[in-house]
Amino acid sequence: MAELTYREAVAAGIAQEMERDERVVFLGEDVAAAGGVFKTTIGLLEKFGPRRVRDTPISEQAIVGAAMGAAMTGLRPIAEIMFSDFFAVCWDMIANEIAKARYMCAGQLTLPLVIRTANGSGSRFGAQHSQSVENWAMAVPGLKVVAPSTPADVKGLLAAAVRDPDPVIFFEHKGLYATKGEVPDGEYVDQLGTAKVLRQGSDATIVALAAMVPRALQAAQRLEQEGISATVVDLRSLVPLDTRTLLAETKKTGRLYTVEENPRLCGWGAEIASIVAEEAFYDLDGPIVRITTPHVPLPAADALEDNTVPTVERIVETIRRTAG
Amino acid sequence: MASDDIDRSTRLALYRSQVEIRLLEKRAYDLFLQNLVKGTSHLSLGQEAVAAGFATAMRPDDYTYCTYRGHSHTLARGAPMVGVLGELMGRRCGLMGGKGGSMHLTSVPHGVMGSYAIVGAHLPVAAGAAWSAQLRGSGQVAVCFFGDGTCNIGAFHEALNFAAVWKLPVIFACENNQYMEYTPIRSVTAVQHPAADRAAAYGLERIIVDGNDADAVYRKARESIEKARGGGGPSLIEAMTYRTSGHSRADPAKYRPPGELEEWTKRDPIALYRARLLELGFDEGDLRAVDSAVQRAVDEATEGAKASPPPALEVISRDLWADGGSSWRN
């Protein structure tokens, strides 16, 4: 085990896969010579050369479109979109082209590609560089959607995404880049579509994703001191969705809370609430409660941004008020 | 250019390809009137020389990227007629088993890597396929067809710049059929030639070709493909042509000024090519034999498609993922 930051784990995951498979190529804005604006891809150009690690112009449609063309003709590209907010300028490529191509042609084309992006709040960047858009991707049939919360998951799930034969949208959380954690040595590959139970409790089940996972854990520790025992599930992947773990962990406590950074309406928790309501209704001891960013764009100032996205305090207070 | 730089069998192939496209698309139109072709369809009547000229110059393993007006390009690469008609008719025998329809014809075994119905989207995709060919050292090229209207959308400019900077083996082939859907392209474009006049912005040569002359298209295609294969980078070619049918099946094309259609019909690419072949000493009987063989093939394809059942409903949940299914949960 080595201790890596979340950002170092990105480069480690890409390097592991590029080392293993020469079909893996990597492109994006400022990713090669500069090592990425978040310094997530330092050293890859030096290690793998300019043919496989390429800087692009500011052309998100061309980046993602080129990844699609390369994937359908025998490569396994990783494309970086610098901020997930920029998905909006290449959403045609992602939602209309990449997601649908295989289905429309009845399986003639295969698109083994990964689109990595920096998602989420915490950097005071304002409403166009801080969004959590994982629910956009989740809404489109044909995309797999992954959002890791730890360095080990970054490396393992990124490797799994590269090896997956389908398009995977890989949401890194920019608020987690500096966090550290143990990452297994040697080749490390995880499995898409598997949630992780990080903490087992008896009174409430908290389901969280990416940067909301450490907050859910902290909230669970605080609640423990107040006599409320909470399970914390790190979802890790929205598509495929590990409903087996979700349903099982909800049934054990009878209460379900989602902690979502995406804005309220049609956030991923709504889908989970609907599944649990349909399939585990009689195991519930109370209403399913969603803790989300309110339905507003993200404001920039410290106090505003911090109090818009779910906080540890809000999670604790909501569960204390409703789990009794 | 000398008229003997194209050999006789190539010329016959160019002729046959154009006739195949014409007769099949006329049949598609008839079947639409009989309510057997559903949805929409965008015909290339009058534009056949572009598809034939390029496809004839391509290697079997080269890539074609088409728009929703892609029947012609799909057929020109050798995709089976029954598969094309079957797809238009929503039958099991369709190229994609009825899942794509007219605007998304795809036939990977023939190098047709998809028909893209969002204007401009496939230019970056074609650049990506060319990048892949460049990296794999396969010598393949990608040819990407699009209309004049595409030259005003962002993806066109992103893809052109990208392909030029990376020196990719891709040919961007603009079919300027004079109309962006219902609107004359001249009235919505800052330059006279929507593609060619933008070439300089990407360091590319300004190339305009007579898109109703299959030989001229073939020569330009051959030249640009050779250049791309040899590592010389991309080309942008504007083929001047005219669609003699409406934009789509719903369009009677009442926006044409009087006399315009008649003028272009005089320059019908197939009539022109037939006259040239006769001038070059081809036997009229041989050409008639091509015509009737193609007509027979179209008739057979029609019967084959009509006899094919609708798709099995199980395919609704198939082939979203590479494992063949569409499951999103465990």
The two domains A2-183 and A196-322 share their CATH topology (first three levels equal): yes
d(CA A258, CA A148) in angstroms, rounded, equals: 16
Mutate which of B135, B316, B327 to disrupt the A interface (most A C-beta within 10 Å)? B135
Fold assignment, A196-322 = Rossmann fold (3.40.50)
pTM of the model: 0.97
**Number of alpha helices (DSSP H) and beta strands (DSSP E) in chain B:** 10, 8
Name residue, tokens 């590592």.
B231
Question: Any bridge partners for residue A81, and if so which?
Answer: A117
Q: Which residue of A has its CA nearest to B166?
A: A56
Average pLDDT over residues B135-146: 98
Pairs across A and B, CB distance < 8 A? 164
Fold assignment, A2-183 = Rossmann fold (3.40.50)
Average pLDDT over residues B114-130: 97
Going from N- to C-terminal start, the domains of chain B cover 12-302
The ipTM (two decimal places) reads 0.96
Min Cα separation B127/chain A (Å):
6
CB–CB of B318 and A97 under 8 A?
Answer: no
Residue A135 near residue A144 (C-beta atoms within 8 A) = no
Min Cα separation A69/chain B (Å):
4
> What residues in A contact B100, CB-CB < 8 Å?
104-106
B12-302 — its CATH code? 3.40.50.970
> What residues in B contact A101, CB-CB < 8 Å?
114
CB–CB of A108 and B96 under 8 A?
Answer: yes
B260 burial level (CB within 10 Å; 0-12, 13-18, 19+): middle
Going from N- to C-terminal start, the domains of chain A cover 2-183, 196-322
CB–CB of B330 and A244 under 8 A?
Answer: yes
d(CA A13, CA B58) in angstroms, rounded, equals: 39
CB–CB of B128 and A107 under 8 A?
Answer: no
d(CA A17, CA A35) in angstroms, rounded, equals: 17
pLDDT in tens, chain A (324 residues): 899 999 999 999 999 999 999 999 999 999 999 999 999 999 999 999 999 999 999 999 999 999 999 999 999 999 999 999 999 999 999 999 999 999 999 999 999 999 999 999 999 999 999 999 999 999 999 999 999 999 999 999 999 999 999 999 999 999 999 999 999 999 999 999 999 999 999 999 999 999 999 999 999 999 999 999 999 999 999 999 999 999 999 999 999 999 999 999 999 999 999 999 999 999 999 999 999 999 999 999 999 999 999 999 999 999 999 987
CB–CB of B128 and A73 under 8 A?
Answer: yes
Catalytic residues of A, by residue number, are 129
Min Cα separation A248/chain B (Å):
12
Q: Does the pLDDT value for residue B2 go beyond 50?
A: no
DSSP B42: -
Question: Any bridge partners for residue A171, and if so which?
Answer: A117
pLDDT in tens, B23-70: 999 999 999 999 999 888 899 999 999 999 999 999 999 999 999 999
Rg of chain B on CA atoms, in Å: 19
Q: Which of B132, B324, B330 sits opposite A240 (nearest CB)?
A: B330
Q: Which of residues 215-254 of B touch A (CB under 8 A)?
A: none
pLDDT of residue B1: 45
For A249-276, letters b (16+ CB in 10 Å) and e give bbbebbbbbbbbbbbeeebbbbbbbebb
Q: Which residue of B has its CA nearest to A74?
A: B132
d(CA A276, CA A252) in angstroms, rounded, equals: 13
